[in-house]
């Protein structure tokens, strides 16, 4: 392999670029984003890669690699391809066990020795159409990836031009251009082969088979030096490609997949007080609908929305190490909340630590959340109130999350303030407190509560006019007849 590939000055990789991969991940970027890989990660063909001791989620990614031939600085898209000398195959290997704590930089998860095999043959870039290249990957002889550059979100010349506006691309620099759907976990003994070719060309061009064998490492990571490998179901699902492929149960129905709250119903619930709604729930046999012990951060705030749930478990040092850092359940909940949803947090009624602060509150507000309900405390209490997001909690507390809680799960059934809350349940809160309404009962309960409000307002008028409450509140048969007659005529008089 030529010297420029043995030790490139820079290796730049793109996060998401194939439509098939974006569809698989459920997100489509508006612009390309990148990360660097160290040149020490380069390996040649027919090599081996270690899966480090104590890890489980080493994944392959078949990619097309571009090798820069002449310096490129602020080049146009039209001129960009002329600065590419060679095209070849790459396996952008990654260890998902180390992914969360690097927050997208992929320094450790993608930077291991041997994590960037390249080659074996070089395809002259000037002789192929960058829109008609293909990458394929086989694991133990089974075809796992097969896609073409016509499916790219960001064409290959655009990547060169974009990167060149930020820094000079130098001869020998390598650009990894993204992987299609089909990337998955590999285990010791697996053999991965990647090939890049130009299937629609009149001439035959191929990188040949880039072969990598997985072996088991025997040296564990030292937790005294830095964060240890940690996996959760999100990382497993993304590493394997899906929850099904990872052997995980399908996700439970969540608020994100539940029907959005009907605007007309929302208006009814905004008009109905929680006291009246709770009365109607009690009449229908629901006596455990109260989220106890919480009050609004802003007096007079009203909250109506569907529940998106977040669960904390009691703090334990090893669990916080594995689940508290990186893109944990708390951050995922606030990043994924949809317009009109209420984030409901199970903090086991422990108000002696914060369960959110101003940054997360701002994130929820920007995403259109209807509010937050937590049976724990709130940091940055005044700042959260200024953001204008309704938050119901047990009050202020300055401490950080790790003092008492480990963020554990999102979109599961939780217990908040003594009430069971399921994703998609309807949450209503005002100065009297917060209640949980099963969606199937919401319309009926809202209509009945508003009718009761109208009746109570009429009773108040009668009391103000000097009538005693006996027989009036609640109304006996005589008063009921008077009320019905008044409603029929539109009169307020008794």
Other CB atoms within a 10 A radius of the CB of residue 65 amount to 29
- Give ranges for CATH 3.50.30.40 in the chain: 263-443
Give dist(CA 476, CA 370) in Å, integer: 40
379 marked among binding-site residues: yes
- pLDDT of amino acid 493: 53
- Give ranges for CATH 3.90.850.10 in the chain: 3-240
Q: What is the dihedral sign for C-alpha 100, 106, 108, 111?
A: positive
Give dist(CA 67, CA 84) in Å, integer: 6
Among left, alpha and beta (phi > 0; psi -120 to 50; other), residue 7 is beta
Residue 432's contacts (CB-CB under 8 Å, 6 or more residues apart) are: 273, 274, 275
20 near 188, Cβ under 8 Å? no
469 near 456, Cβ under 8 Å? no
CATH ID of 263-443, from 3.40.605.10, 3.50.30.40, 3.30.450.20, 3.40.190.170? 3.50.30.40
- pLDDT of amino acid 255: 40
Structure tokens at 92: 């952008």
380 marked among binding-site residues: yes
Give dist(CA 358, CA 109) in Å, integer: 30
- pLDDT of amino acid 251: 63
- pLDDT of amino acid 253: 43
- pLDDT of amino acid 249: 76
357 marked among binding-site residues: yes
402 marked among binding-site residues: no
The correct answer on CATH 3.90.850.10 for the domain covering 3-240 is: yes
169 near 83, Cβ under 8 Å? yes
Q: Is the pTM of this model over 0.85?
A: no
Give dist(CA 36, CA 298) in Å, integer: 45
Q: Are strands 134-139 and 191-197 parallel, antiparallel or unpaired?
A: antiparallel
360 marked among binding-site residues: yes
What is the 3 state secondary structure string of the chain? CCHHHHCCCCEEEECCCEHHHHHHHCCCCCCCCEEEECHHHEECCCEEEEECCCCCCEECCEEEEEEECCCECCCCHHHHHHHEEEEEEEECCEEHHHCHHHCCCCCCCCCCCCCEEECCCCEEHHHCCCCCCEEEEEECCEEEEEEEHHHECCCHHHHHHHHHCCCCECCCCEEECCCCCCCCECCCCCEEEEEEECCCCCCCCECCCEEEEEEECCCCCCCCCCCCCCCCHHHHHHHHCCCCCCCCCCCCCCCCCCCCCCHHHHHHHHHCCHHHHHHHHHHCCCCCCEECCCEECCCCCCEEEEEEEEEEEECCHHHHHHHCCCCCHHHHHHHHCCCCEEEEEECCCCCCCECCCHHHHHHHHHCCCCEEEECCEECCHHHHHHHCCCEEECCECCCCHHHCEEEEEECCCEEECCEEECCCCEEEEECCEEEEECHHHHHHHHHHHHHHHHHHHHHHHHHHCCCCCCCCCCCCHHHHHHHHHHHHHCCCCC
- pLDDT of amino acid 3: 43
Calculate the dihedral angle through the C-alpha atoms of 118, 121, 124, 130, rounding to the nearest 10 degrees. Answer: -50
- pLDDT of amino acid 1: 44
- pLDDT of amino acid 386: 92
Q: Are strands 290-291 and 210-216 parallel, antiparallel or unpaired?
A: unpaired
266 marked among binding-site residues: no
393 burial (CB, 10 Å; 0-12 / 13-18 / 19+) is buried
Residue 456 CB-half CA count within 13 A: 11
Q: What is the dihedral sign for C-alpha 457, 459, 464, 469?
A: negative
Distances (CA, A) of 138 to 182, 191, 287, 332, 473: 10, 8, 58, 33, 77
91 near 212, Cβ under 8 Å? yes
Question: Residue-wise pLDDT tens for the chain (494 aa)?
Answer: 444 467 899 999 999 999 999 888 878 888 999 999 999 999 977 789 999 998 999 999 999 999 999 999 999 999 999 999 999 999 999 999 998 777 778 999 999 999 999 999 999 999 999 999 999 999 999 999 999 999 899 999 999 999 999 999 999 999 999 999 999 999 999 999 999 999 999 999 999 999 999 999 999 888 788 878 888 888 888 899 888 888 887 765 444 445 678 899 999 999 999 999 999 999 898 988 999 999 999 888 999 999 999 999 999 988 888 788 777 889 989 988 999 999 999 999 999 999 999 999 999 999 999 999 999 999 999 999 999 999 999 999 998 777 899 999 899 999 999 999 999 999 999 999 999 999 999 999 999 989 888 888 888 888 888 888 888 788 888 888 888 888 777 655 54
């Amino acid at each position: 392999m030529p010297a420029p590939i043995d030790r490139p000055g820079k290796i730049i990789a793109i996060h998401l670029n194939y439509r098939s991969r974006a569809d698989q991940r459920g997100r489509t970027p508006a612009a390309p984003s990148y990360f660097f890989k160290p040149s020490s990660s380069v390996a040649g063909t027919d090599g081996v890669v270690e899966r480090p001791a104590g890890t489980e989620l080493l994944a392959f990614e078949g990619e097309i690699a571009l090798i820069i031939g002449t310096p490129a600085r602020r080049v146009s898209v039209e001129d960009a391809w002329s600065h590419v000398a060679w095209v070849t195959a790459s396996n952008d290997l990654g260890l998902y066990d180390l992914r969360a704590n690097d927050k997208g930089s992929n320094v450790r998860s993608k930077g291991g020795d041997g994590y960037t095999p390249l080659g074996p043959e070089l395809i002259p870039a000037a002789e192929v159409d960058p829109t008609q290249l293909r990458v394929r990957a086989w694991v133990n002889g089974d075809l796992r990836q097969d896609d073409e550059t016509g499916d790219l979100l960001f064409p290959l010349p655009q990547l060169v031009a974009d990167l060149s506006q930020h820094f000079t691309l130098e001869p020998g620099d390598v650009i990894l251009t993204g992987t299609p759907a089909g990337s998955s976990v590999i285990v010791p003994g697996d053999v991965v082969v990647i090939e890049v070719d130009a299937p629609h060309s009149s001439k035959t061009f191929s990188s040949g088979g880039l072969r990598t064998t997985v072996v088991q490492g025997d040296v564990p990571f030292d937790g005294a030096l830095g964060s240890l490998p940690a996996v959760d179901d999100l990382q497993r699902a993304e590493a394997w490609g899906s929850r099904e492929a990872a052997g995980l149960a399908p996700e439970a129905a969540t608020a994100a997949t539940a029907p959005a709250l009907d605007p007309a119903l929302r208006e009814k619930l905004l008009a109905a007080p929680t006291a009246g709604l709770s009365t109607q729930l009690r009449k229908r046999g629901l006596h455990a609908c109260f989220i106890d012990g919480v009050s609004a951060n802003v007096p007079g705030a009203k909250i109506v929305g569907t529940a998106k749930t977040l669960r904390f478990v009691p703090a334990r040092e090893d669990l916080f190490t594995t689940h508290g850092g990186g893109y944990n359940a708390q951050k995922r909940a606030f990043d994924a909340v949809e317009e009109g949803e209420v984030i409901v947090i199970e903090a086991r009624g422990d108000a002696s630590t914060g369960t959110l602060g101003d940054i997360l509150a701002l994130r929820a507000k920007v995403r259109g959340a209807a509010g937050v309900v937590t049976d724990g405390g709130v940091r940055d209490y005044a700042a959260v109130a200024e953001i204008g997001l309704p938050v119901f909690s047990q009050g202020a507390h300055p401490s950080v999350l790790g003092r008492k809680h480990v963020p554990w799960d999102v979109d599961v059934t939780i217990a908040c303030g003594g009430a069971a809350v399921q994703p998609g349940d309807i949450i209503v809160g005002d100065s009297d407190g917060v209640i949980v309404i099963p969606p199937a009962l919401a319309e009926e309960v809202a209509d009945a509560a508003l009718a009761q409000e109208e009746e109570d307002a009429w009773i108040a008028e009668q009391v103000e006019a000097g009538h005693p409450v006996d027989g009036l509140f609640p109304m006996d048969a005589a008063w009921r007849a008077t009320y019905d007659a008044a409603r029929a005529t539109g009169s307020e008089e008794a």
